[in-house]
Amino acid sequence: MRYLLLVPLISTALSLKAWGSHREILDVGLINQGRLPYFSVPTEGLYIDILDEIGREVGIIFRYRFFPQSRIRHLMNHNLLDVEPGIAEAWRTDKLEFENSIYSHAILTSSEVMVYNPKNFQASPDTRFLMTLSRCSILGFSDLDSLKEKQSNDQKIITEIQLLQMLKNNRCDFAVFPEDVVTPHLSMFGLRVTNSIATFDLKLRLTQRHRALLPRINQAIEKMVSTGLMAKILMKYRGSDD
């Protein structure tokens, strides 16, 4: 009798193990120096919480891998990564990126600001004036349309902390950051920001080969929004529900 009871239990356990082992694994590209509140190394942050919840809903596993930003773009273009989170469609317009990208529903919005050293200005500078000056930016990041034609003297930096140090040391005049990324660092480096110069809907960027997963991913995002879970995650890491 005991043997007969064990048979269905063992069968169920094996079935669950088999189901788990066949869950699709998608590799997610994240910047290797971290970018709070979005993510840190090792895996923590609002992107991680959002993706883990989507994975539970859809039945997939997201595996987090860390690279420089320019490397992430290269790997996505050649199907060596599957997901790049927190991307606006306007940022990925190179031919390969355009052809090989699909996007989820928006998971949050991002307000972009210009960061500058106030010691270099008698009064708060106008954004149009700042755009005529020298800029530092991250290698692999996309430029805002308003800046593309005006900056011939860009300095490309590897990490955002290096970029902030460059601003502090007057090696360039301004940089563009997401407001929630740069705000915690302003007092440490003695920097200030302008009002928002652009707002973007940030989405999950997937390669075309995962198009079949997109409807289920979008359903999971919709569920997170409707149940209030998305707002809870954003409040946890940003102090606001977006």
Quick: pLDDT tens for 101-149. 999 999 999 999 999 999 999 999 999 999 999 999 888 887 776 565 5
| Mean pLDDT on 166-192 | 95
> What pairs with residue 115 in β-bridges?
175, 193
| Cα–Cα distance measured from residue 11 to residue 138, given in angstroms and rounded to the nearest whole number | 53
User: What is the overall mean pLDDT for the chain?
Assistant: 87
Contact 230, 224 (CB under 8 A): yes
| Mean pLDDT on 16-30 | 72
Task: Give the pLDDT of residue 42.
Answer: 77
How sure is the predictor about 34, in pLDDT bands with cuts at 50, 70 and 90?
Answer: confident
State pLDDT tens for residues 50-84.
999 999 999 999 999 999 999 999 999 999 999 99
The CA angle 78-84-134, to the nearest 5 degrees, is 95
Task: Give the pLDDT of residue 145.
Answer: 63
Domains in the chain (CATH in brackets) are 20-110+200-238 (3.40.190.10), 111-199 (3.40.190.10)
State pLDDT tens for residues 220-229.
999 999 999 9
| Mean pLDDT on 150-174 | 84
pLDDT above 90 for 20: no
> What pairs with residue 65 in β-bridges?
29
pLDDT above 80 for 234: yes
Of residues 177, 166, 175, 213, the one with CA closest to residue 60: 213
Task: Give the pLDDT of residue 150.
Answer: 55
